[in-house]
Amino acid sequence: MSPEDYILPGMPNLHSHAFQRALAGQAELATGNKDDFWSWRGKMYHCANRITPDQLRAVAAQLFMEMLKSGYTSVAEFHYLHHTGQGQSAGPPTEMADAVIAASEDAGIGLTLLPVLYMTADFDGPEPLPEQARFINDVDSFLSLLACLRGRQGGNMNMGAAFHSLRAVPGRSLLEVLRILTEEDIDCPIHIHIAETRKEVEACTGFYGLTPVRWLFENVDIDRRWCLVHATHLTDWEVGKLSMSECVIGLCPTTEANLGDGIFRFADFLSGGGKFGIGSDSNISVSPVEELRWLEYGQRLITNRRNISATGDEPHVGTFLWENAASGGARALGCKIHSPGTEGPADLLVLNGEHPLLYGKPAHEITDSFVFSGNDNLVRDVKAGGKWVVRDGAHVNEQDISARYKKAIKELNQ
């Protein structure tokens, strides 16, 4: 075995809400037999409405450090917590976004910042709820925010744009933003939550007469810029169209399981050649290994078969999952993967070849063992954007980041 056998491309994390890490483990208390996505959302809003820019920076830096230590080397932050809660600022509200950017620099992770347009409480356009006030922009203020934040790009940070969901963005506003981006010749990743819950699909069908993914296909050119996050509840037609599309499906199996959303039709989607990546979303779990394992195991449980995620070209399930999630994730983040041996600053991880789960295994079994065996973190070293940020399992800025996180979480839990 050569040392190269233990090197893997870094994993892009294509969907994260960093502030929700502060809530991890605090929404697992049963409050009746009706707990679901919507009851969880109430708890999440409580957290969203308390957090300050300084606390967000501290929580996000800790989270991004944990991402790096587990093998994520870049993250797409789906950022809708725009306003500080201290009244409207004079210019575009960038304080919270700047906190996320600073956190990514503290940790040394690649960042694709996705400012999110959030306008309404539901499909028929009702005024946002009071607890959604920090998320809200209209089309003009959203475009100003995008233009302002675009000036922050550079180094290991780029930008995209996101629509929260069809529930939170009227169709005409979504189309207007897309038209203006095209007019201004802005070619960037575009993300949206879609078809995450049955309730959302039913409400969309009731309002538009079309399911959410169908509405997108009828109204928008779903090309390689797009990342459709979740896409849990799909018709056969939608699975077929998505699998042939150049877009990426953003799968977040631990969050989808944690929230009781449902299981994506991965086996059908793969048979059509679909592209996918993984995201830690609510950050209840921060581990690409756990996302990929859940993705495969969910399919095994509903199909009563084994080794779903594989092809004739790549029959090793762990290898297939890691490589395809990495390339799909890179597309969703609008980045290239700078693997060993390619041009550009490397994003890679080095596994611990001395660990009993990897030691002595042939090269073609190493990624399978990494993805499926045990719960130890087998990542030893991580390079992100060409810099070593994790050495021997420890982050280079671990003490500072942890100290600031502990202070922030203590304040938030008071």
Q: Please give the residue ranges that form the binding site for Zn ion (CB under 5 A).
A: 281
Specify the residue, 106 or 281, whose C-beta has the smaller distance to Zn ion: 281
Which among 369, 380, 332, 282 has a CA at the least distance from the CA of 27? 282
- What lies within 8 Å, CB to CB, of 244 at 6+ separation is 272, 273, 274
Specify whether 230 is catalytic: yes
Say which of 164, 230, 338, 395 is annotated catalytic.
230
Rounded to a whole number of angstroms, the minimum distance from the CB of residue 16 to Zn ion is 8
Specify the residue, 61 or 168, whose C-beta has the smaller distance to Zn ion: 168
- d(C-alpha 329, C-alpha 340), whole Å: 17
Which among 343, 356, 350 has a CA at the least distance from the CA of 5? 350
Specify the residue, 229 or 366, whose C-beta has the smaller distance to Zn ion: 229
For Zn ion, which residue has the nearest CB? Answer: 281
Three-class SS state of 179: helix
Rounded to a whole number of angstroms, the minimum distance from the CB of residue 333 to Zn ion is 15
Q: Is 206 exposed, middle or buried (0-12, 13-18, 19+ CB in 10 A)?
A: exposed
Rounded to a whole number of angstroms, the minimum distance from the CB of residue 354 to Zn ion is 37
Bridge partners for 278 per DSSP: 251
Virtual torsion, Cα 16, 19, 20, 24, nearest 10 deg: 120
Rounded to a whole number of angstroms, the minimum distance from the CB of residue 288 to Zn ion is 17
Rounded to a whole number of angstroms, the minimum distance from the CB of residue 281 to Zn ion is 5
| Cβ proximity of 9 and 346 under 8 Å | no
Rounded to a whole number of angstroms, the minimum distance from the CB of residue 18 to Zn ion is 11
Say which of 281, 316, 338, 381 is annotated catalytic.
281
Specify whether 191 is catalytic: no
Specify the residue, 44 or 321, whose C-beta has the smaller distance to Zn ion: 44
How many CB atoms are closer than 10 A to CB 218? Answer: 10
Specify the residue, 63 or 366, whose C-beta has the smaller distance to Zn ion: 63
Token output for 120 = 């309404």
Specify the residue, 281 or 291, whose C-beta has the smaller distance to Zn ion: 281
Rounded to a whole number of angstroms, the minimum distance from the CB of residue 22 to Zn ion is 15
Long-range contacts of residues 314-320, Cβ cutoff 8 Å, at least 24 apart: 316/364, 316/365, 316/367, 316/368, 317/368, 317/371, 317/372, 318/292, 318/367, 318/368, 318/369, 318/370, 318/371, 318/372, 319/364, 319/367, 319/368
What DSSP string runs through 215-260? HHHHHS---TTEEEEE--S--HHHHHHHHHSSSEEEE-HHHHHHTT
Write out the H or E segment, with its range, that includes residue 176. Answer: helix 171-183
Token output for 237 = 């037609």
Specify the residue, 281 or 296, whose C-beta has the smaller distance to Zn ion: 281
- Positions annotated as catalytic residues are 230, 281
